């Protein structure tokens, strides 16, 4: 039994910071020395959250809170006041003075394994297009999953791959990207109430722009493609504005300079480097040993595809292309992806990748199955050389033409079978010269495509001025 003499009132005033310095110091000392005081504090905290939980989950037996001072008003008068308020709010909404009555964002596209956890703790794994999300966390659970949310004002946010995004219940335009990748196309916002995206290492205030955010364990990579974003680094509170066509990394190290850098040039060639875990999105990084180089080992991930009852176990390894690169890696006609790795037993293996449009924005996921019959192991090692043209889009929405898209992530996965899959190196190889030895018309087409890629890379370095003429909007693109 705890000491009943402890004065809870002092504790409440202490928590509210309304005590004078003398009593405040006494409470502070008591909390350090007197267990009864700590038990009282603990009980207050438990009582507060349990009461809130009862109210939140609707287990409350009484009606919602109402000001006692208004209880005495006649019912007719109360209804008249309510109607008047509704009318005024409606008028303000129509005239745009309030920015409209906001609801939560609506799912407009989804694929793969997704899960919504509402603020009451209820988990929903059967999301469908049209669901409205209010107050909770949306998790994209596997490499090939994604979801696009659309707000009332037309702003669109896409998370893809292993990502976790919390949507505020009160402030509809407040998002928390705890992990993973987000691409956002934000409509112009009010300066006094911008969209805010929080990450573990930075806060981003967005007034209307196109941006991509990649969140790792200790850093946030921001790419601004259009508009301007105000970034606050949490470790030291330093604020910097990131203009269009620039990028910035905000990490937990406050000693690192916080200066936006121009968006880099493009390259058609890339190779993973598993010298550390910087580029690891999912899987276990294994350091180099005497006989083996550094590599990425697939780790298990339970996965229940939307609409399916059976949960499968993916053995998944995902590597980021963009996280440690100073240049945007662009796909070209005739490019190939070479994957070298190890496995203990031969099994069907899926290789896939995520793309963005050249000037930002999620552009789809593509994958290919390498059947067990086509896998050759030499001393436990395999090598796949895969033509881009052989990859299939996971969703019909995205065209299978990949020329000019930016490569963001590559993954390898086996389903249900833990075959010890490890990635030793993943490469994007530029087109071979022999690919060009075709008919003159084919050569002209390819030359024009290459020119388009170069033109797009030039545009990356220039701030776009007219959002209405964007070529990279997935909804209007007709390629």
Partner 1 sequence: MSTFSEQDVLRLLMQSRDRISAAAWLVTGDTQVSEDIFQNVVVKALTREVSFEVEGAVLSWAFITARREGIDWLRRHGRESNGLDPVVLDLVSQSWLTESARDGGERVSALRECLDRLPDESRQMLRMRYYEGYNCGEVAETFRLGLNAVYKRVSRLHAQLRQCVESRVGRMGVEPS
Applying CB under 8 A, which residues contact partner 1? Answer: 1-2, 4, 7-9, 11-18, 28, 31-32, 35, 38-56, 59-62, 65, 67-69, 117, 119, 121, 136-137, 139, 162, 164, 166, 169-170, 176, 178-179, 198, 200, 203, 234, 237, 284, 299, 302
Among residues 111, 331, 362, 106, the alpha carbon closest in space to that of 223 is found at 362
* Phi, psi of 383, rounded to the nearest 5 degrees: -145, 125
Q: Which residues lie below 8 Å from residue 48, measured CB to CB, with a gap of 6+?
A: none
Closer by beta carbon to partner 1, 185 or else 203: 203
Q: Distance between CA atoms of 184 and 194, rounded to whole angstroms?
A: 14
Closer by beta carbon to partner 1, 15 or else 368: 15
Pairing, β 328-329 against β 266-267: parallel
Coil, strand or helix: which one is 182? Answer: strand
**Distance of alpha carbon 453 from its chain centroid, rounded?**
27
Closer by beta carbon to partner 1, 29 or else 269: 29
- Give bridge partners of residue 4 from the DSSP assignment: none
Closer by beta carbon to partner 1, 7 or else 387: 7
Q: How far is the CB of 230 from partner 1 (least distance, A)?
A: 14
Q: Distance between CA atoms of 425 and 319, rounded to whole angstroms?
A: 10
Answer yes or no: are the C-beta atoms of 143 and 282 closer than 8 Å. yes
Answer yes or no: are the C-beta atoms of 229 and 240 closer than 8 Å. no
Among residues 337, 348, 343, 338, the alpha carbon closest in space to that of 373 is found at 348
Closer by beta carbon to partner 1, 193 or else 436: 193
Could you say which DSSP state residue 192 is in?
T
Closer by beta carbon to partner 1, 12 or else 92: 12
Closer by beta carbon to partner 1, 36 or else 92: 36
Closer by beta carbon to partner 1, 39 or else 415: 39
Q: How far is the CB of 349 from partner 1 (least distance, A)?
A: 22
Q: How far is the CB of 1 from partner 1 (least distance, A)?
A: 6
Please give the full DSSP string across 49-117, using - where no structure is assigned: HHHHHHHHTT--SSPPP--GGGTTS-HHHHHHHHHHHHHHHHHHHHTTSS-------EEEEEES-EEEE
Pairing, β 295-297 against β 284-286: antiparallel
């Amino acid at each position: 039994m705890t000491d009943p003499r402890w004065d809870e009132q002092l504790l409440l005033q202490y928590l509210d910071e309304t005590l004078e310095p003398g009593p405040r110091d006494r409470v502070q000392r008591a909390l350090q020395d007197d267990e009864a005081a700590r038990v009282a504090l603990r009980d207050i905290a438990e009582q507060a959250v349990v009461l809130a939980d009862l109210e939140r989950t609707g287990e409350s037996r009484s009606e919602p809170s109402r000001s006692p001072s208004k209880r005495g008003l006649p019912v007719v008068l109360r209804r008249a006041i309510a109607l008047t308020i509704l009318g005024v709010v409606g008028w303000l909404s129509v005239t745009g003075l309030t920015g409209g009555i906001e609801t939560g964002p609506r799912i407009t596209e989804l694929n793969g394994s997704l899960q919504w956890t509402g603020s009451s703790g209820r988990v929903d794994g059967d999301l469908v297009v049209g669901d409205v999300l209010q107050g909770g966390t949306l998790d994209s659970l596997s490499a090939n999953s994604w979801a696009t949310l659309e707000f009332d004002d037309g702003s669109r946010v896409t998370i893809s791959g292993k990502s976790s995004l919390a949507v505020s219940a009160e402030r509809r335009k407040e998002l928390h990207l705890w992990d993973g990748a987000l691409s956002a196309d934000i409509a112009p916002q009010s300066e006094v109430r911008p969209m805010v995206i929080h990450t573990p290492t930075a806060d981003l205030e967005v007034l209307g722009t196109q941006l991509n955010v990649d969140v790792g364990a200790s850093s946030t990579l921001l790419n601004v493609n259009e508009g301007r974003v105000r970034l606050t680094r949490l470790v030291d509170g330093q604020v910097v504005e990131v203009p269009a066509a620039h990028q910035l990394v905000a990490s937990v190290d406050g000693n690192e300079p916080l200066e936006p850098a121009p968006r880099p040039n493009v390259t058609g060639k890339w190779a993973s480097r598993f010298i550390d875990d910087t580029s690891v999105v999912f899987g276990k990084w294994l350091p180099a040993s005497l006989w083996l180089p550094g590599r990425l080992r697939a780790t298990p991930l339970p996965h229940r595809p939307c609409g399916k009852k059976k949960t499968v176990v993916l053995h998944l390894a995902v590597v980021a292309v963009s996280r440690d690169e100073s240049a945007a890696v662009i796909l070209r006609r005739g490019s190939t992806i070479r994957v070298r790795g190890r496995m203990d037993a031969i099994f069907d293996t899926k290789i896939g990748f995520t793309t963005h449009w050249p000037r930002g924005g999620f552009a789809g996921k593509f994958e290919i199955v390498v059947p067990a019959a086509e896998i050759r192991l030499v001393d436990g090692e395999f090598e796949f050389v895969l033509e881009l043209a052989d990859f299939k889009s996971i969703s019909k929405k995205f065209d299978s033409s990949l020329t000019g898209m930016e490569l963001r992530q590559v993954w390898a996965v086996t389903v249900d079978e833990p075959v010890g899959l490890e990635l030793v190196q993943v490469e994007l190889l530029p087109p071979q010269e022999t690919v060009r030895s075709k008919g003159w018309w084919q050569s002209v087409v390819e030359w024009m495509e290459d020119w388009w890629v170069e033109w797009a890379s030039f545009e990356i370095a220039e701030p776009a001025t007219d959002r209405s003429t964007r070529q990279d909007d997935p909804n209007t693109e007709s390629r």
